[in-house]
Chain A
Amino acid sequence: MSDNSSLRTPSQRIAWTATIVVSTLVFIFLIAPILAIMPLSFSSGSYLTYPLPGLSLRWYDDFITSPRWMHSLKNSMIIGVASTALSMVLGTLAALGLAQWKSRFKPLVLAFVLSPVVVPGVITAVGLYFFFAPIGLTGSYLGLILAHTALATPFVVITVGATLQSFDTNLSRAAASLGASPIYAFRRVILPLILPGLASGALFAFATSFDEVVIVLFMAGPEQRTLPREMFSGIRENISPTITAAAVILTTVSVILLATLEGLRRRNERLKGGG
Chain B
Amino acid sequence: MEAGMVTPAPALVRFSGIQKTYDGEHLVVKNLDLDIRKGEFITLLGPSGSGKTTTLMMLAGFEVPTHGEIYLADRPIKNVPPHKRDIGMVFQNYALFPHLTIAENIAFPLSVRNTSKADVQERVSAALRMIKMESLAQRRPGQLSGGQQQRVALARALVFNPQLVLMDEPLGALDKRLREQMQLEIKQLHETMGITIVYVTHDQSEALTMSDRIAVFNDGIVQQIDRPDALYEHPVNSFVAHFIGENNVLAGTVETIDKEFCRVVLAGGGAVTARAVNISGAGASTSLSVRPERIAIVPDGSTSDGVNRLPAKVQNTIYLGDHALAVLEVAGNGEFMVKLQPGAHHSLTQGESVFITFRPEDCLALDPV
Contact = CB atoms under 8 A, between A and B. Distances in A.
Contacts of A184: 112
Nearest to A271: B99
Interface stretch (A91-99, A113-121, A187-195): A187-195
B99 A272 contact: yes
A274 B141 CA distance: 9
A168 B93 contact: yes
A216 B262 CA distance: 92
A188 B83 CA distance: 14
Nearest to B142: A273
B191 interface: no
Contact of A192 (B85, B86, B99, B140): B99
Interface string A123-147: 0000000000000000000000000
B140 A168 contact: no
A120 B108 CA distance: 48
Given A171-B97, A272-B99, A179 B112 contact: yes
A200 B40 CA distance: 49
Nearest to B86: A179
Interface string A173-192: 11111111110110011001
A272 B88 contact: no
Given A273-B140, A274-B143, A179 B83 contact: yes
Interface string B63-96: 0000000000000000001111111110101011
A11 interface: no
Contacts of A238: none
B60 A178 contact: no
Given A180-B83, A273-B142, A173 B113 contact: no
Contacts of B93: 168, 170
Interface string A142-179: 00000000000000000000000000101101111111
Interface string B187-211: 0000000000000000000000000
A131 to B, nearest CB: 41
Interface residues of B, number: 32
A178 B91 contact: no
Contact of B91 (A174, A188, A272, A274): A174
23 contacts: A171-B95, A173-B60, A174-B89, A176-B61, A176-B62, A176-B83, A177-B82, A177-B88, A177-B89, A177-B157, A178-B108, A178-B109, A178-B160, A179-B83, A179-B112, A179-B160, A182-B83, A185-B83, A188-B108, A192-B99, A271-B99, A271-B140, A272-B140
A189 B87 CA distance: 19
Interface of B: 60-62, 81-89, 91, 93, 95-99, 108-109, 112-113, 139-143, 156-157, 160, 166
Contacts of B84: 179
Contacts of A174: 89, 91, 95-97
A176 to B, nearest CB: 4
Given A173-B62, A181-B83, A273 B112 contact: no
A168 B141 CA distance: 14
Instruction: Among B61, B89, B98, B113, find the residue whose CB has the most chain A CB atoms closer than 10 A.
Output: B98
A192 B96 CA distance: 14
B108 A175 contact: yes
Contact of B143 (A173, A192, A273): A273
Contacts of A176: 61-62, 81-83
A178 B98 contact: no
Contacts of A273: 98, 139-143
B60 A189 contact: no
A152 B82 CA distance: 35
A180 B88 CA distance: 12
Contact of B113 (A170, A179, A185, A189): A179
Contact of B87 (A177, A180, A188): A177
Contacts of B97: 171, 174-175, 188-189, 193
A178 B141 contact: no
A179 B85 CA distance: 8
A189 B108 CA distance: 10
Contacts of B156: 178
A268 B140 CA distance: 12
A37 B69 CA distance: 71
B215 to A, nearest CB: 21
A242 to B, nearest CB: 46
Contacts of B166: 177
A188 B60 CA distance: 21
A104 to B, nearest CB: 12
Nearest to B61: A176
A274 B144 CA distance: 9
Contacts of A192: 99
B60 A177 contact: yes
Contacts of B96: 174
Given A173-B82, A174-B95, 19 more contacts: A168-B93, A170-B91, A173-B91, A174-B96, A176-B62, A178-B88, A178-B108, A178-B112, A178-B157, A178-B160, A180-B108, A185-B83, A193-B99, A271-B98, A272-B98, A273-B141, A273-B143, A274-B142, A274-B143
Contacts of B108: 175, 178, 180, 188
Nearest first, the 3 closest Cβ-Cβ pairs linking A and B are A273-B142, A178-B109, A177-B89
A219 to B, nearest CB: 42
